Amino acid sequence: MSPTVAGLLQAGVLVLFLAVAYKPLGGWMARVYSDQRHWRAERLLYRVVRVDPDAQQRWTTYAAGVLGFSFVSIVLLYLLQRLQPLLPLGFGRGTDGATTVAPAMAFNTAVSFVTNTNWQSYVPEAVLGHTVQMVGLTVQNVVSAAVGMAVAIALVRGFAARGGDPTDGGRIGNFWVDLTRGVTRILLPLSVVAAVALVAMGTVMSLRSGVDVTGVDGARNTMPLAPAASQEAVKELGTNGGGIFNANSAHPFENPNALSNLFEIFLLLVIPVALTRTFGIMVGDKRQGHVLVAVTGGIWAVFVGLTWLAETFPNGPAALVAGGAMEGKELRFGIPGSALFAVSTTGTSTGAVNSAHDSLSGAGGGIALLNMLLGEVAPGGVGAGLYGILVLAIIAVFLAGLMVGRTPEYLGKKLGRVQVTYAAISILAMPAVVLLGSGLAIALPGTGDAMNNDGAHGFSEVLYAYASAANNNGSAFAGITVTGDFFQTSLAVAMLFGRFVPILAVLGLAGSLARQRHVEPGAGTLPTDGVLFGALVGGTILLVAALTFFPAMALGPIAEALS
């Protein structure tokens, strides 16, 4: 079977499985977040933490819950790393066992995992013991994803609310209930099933420190082991991306074969894709969800095709003689499996990699970078993708309203100055962080020493790093060394602003929508459930990114691709 046919078969099977899971998973998540009943275990948890699960919250209270929970999570994860020598299961992480993690690195890592970025500036199997990996990182893989889902559902409730009740004050749910249900009813059950499946496919699951092996040259080495399958499952399912081994999903202990590779791509796409159906059910019009999944699916398919083409026919005689740009790729996945993974991971804020993105061709690496700079809405991270594309849909409706001279309406809610301001803050936060961070890293004296490449590719590495941090992705062009205090701190700040500024804007938007009375569509209302609106949203996504980032892209990946 030719690589092209095998690649098309992989993509077809992936789309088929996503289509099969779309309806039941999307419907289940809609029921989870709409259910008026609380499970017995959930009620016990609410009593322990002194939360009234039946109390509805205004957006300010909801936002305080998000920020408070995230702040405490950062502190606890930071302390776990700093106190690592006192913890069990810290095997072989130094000459005398587990070592403490340096302050700047511990801060960067804590922020990274709490913001669902999972950027790793360290070698996991050499720095972190099993306890920190399991109690710290894996737990944050679950709860940070649940936070993103909770924020998305809060915005959906804002659209679905009928409003008009002055005593209601625009309440959008209860953060603690949404967080708990996202963990107990969605992420944990799916992660358990996925972990068992990965173990069956060959992914390692062990609490041993390692296994001694003798190489073909007679030298004895120790191969580190880890409880990889459990973290791998939620790493992909929660669009996290932080690997338990340095090679991430290119490591055979995390991703042993082509079947596990396809399964992991399915895991990182399935919840973001199904959330569009959840949205359609909760607003009372499933066609609205169909439009969003068509837009995100279309962008994803085009980018997969372009990446596959760029890696198959790269610039350079050596790559052409080899039959494609195979540098940095695993032979067991090849170009099709690597292109599928690269586009899916950069389009979902996952950041897991099964190939070295720094070794992608100029055009291929540029597409991966652009995929993040779109705002990661194709289909986006767990929760973050849904609220991101809804914000862009609001911008699209607003632009259409300007063209026809009418007050824009979306899903029965009028979009005035307040709503558009919140949407603008949400979409402008990421470009500001990316461009300011990249500019400082290039301009400040001494930071250039961290760049192992100069010219267009060196600039692309810096731009990719801040795009990855601000979009809470976590993948990297590996040619830049980010272990210095400047990069550890500045990238952590980029993660914080890239995560929480849009979240606060989205929650403010949700509150303003929930206070509005629902209005029925009139003769001049723009239909938002058809092909025309889908094209308008897709065009807005591409236009916003193109106008914002074209100069920076021209200095980096575009110049490299044309060289």
Please state the three-class secondary structure of 293-327 as a single string.
HHHHHHHHHHHHHHHHHHHHCCCCHHHHHCCCCCC
- Where do the H-state alpha helices sit in 405-521? 417-443, 455-470, 485-515
CA distances from 509 to 424, 515, 516 (A): 11, 10, 11
Higher-pLDDT residue of 299, 88: 299
* Residue 7 pLDDT > 60: yes
Which runs of E-coded beta strand occur in 128-229? Answer: 210-214, 220-224
pLDDT value at residue 9: 93
With a pLDDT cut of 90, the percent of the chain lying above it is 69
* Residue 188 pLDDT > 80: yes
Question: Of 377, 320, 367, 326, nearest to 347 (Cα)?
Answer: 377
Report residue 92's pLDDT band, with 50, 70 and 90 as the boundaries.
Answer: very low
* Residue 546 pLDDT > 80: yes
Report residue 168's pLDDT band, with 50, 70 and 90 as the boundaries.
Answer: low
pLDDT value at residue 483: 84
User: What SS3 state is found at 221?
Assistant: strand
pLDDT value at residue 216: 81
340-394: pLDDT as tens digits = 999 999 999 998 999 999 989 889 999 999 999 999 899 999 999 999 999 999 9
For residue 550, the tally of other CB atoms under 10 A from its CB is: 12
pLDDT value at residue 95: 36
- Where do the H-state alpha helices sit in 186-285? 188-201, 228-237, 258-282
* Residue 140 pLDDT > 70: yes
* Residue 78 pLDDT > 80: yes
Mean pLDDT of 251-260: 94
pLDDT value at residue 96: 42
The whole model's pTM is what? 0.94
DSSP one-letter string for 36-79? ----HHHHHHHHHTT--TT----HHHHHHHHHHHHHHHHHHHHH
Q: For the chain, what is the mean pLDDT?
A: 90
pLDDT value at residue 256: 94
pLDDT value at residue 402: 82
Higher-pLDDT residue of 155, 520: 155
Question: Of 124, 163, 191, 47, nearest to 412 (Cα)?
Answer: 163
Report residue 469's pLDDT band, with 50, 70 and 90 as the boundaries.
Answer: very high
pLDDT value at residue 90: 64
- Where do the H-state alpha helices sit in 313-416? 317-321, 334-346, 362-373, 384-404
* Residue 318 pLDDT > 80: no
* Residue 56 pLDDT > 60: yes
Residues in a beta bridge with 223: 211
**Of 246-250, 308-312, 433-437, highest mean pLDDT:** 433-437
pLDDT value at residue 315: 72
Report residue 109's pLDDT band, with 50, 70 and 90 as the boundaries.
Answer: very high
pLDDT value at residue 496: 97
* Residue 246 pLDDT > 50: yes
pLDDT value at residue 167: 54
Question: Of 116, 66, 59, nearest to 468 (Cα)?
Answer: 116
Q: How many CA atoms lie within 13 A of 28 on its CB side?
A: 16
Residue with tokens 């963990």: 183
Annotated domain spans of the chain: 383-562
22-46: pLDDT as tens digits = 999 999 999 999 999 999 999 999 9
CA distances from 246 to 82, 89, 276, 353, 475 (A): 20, 19, 33, 10, 12
* Residue 507 pLDDT > 80: yes
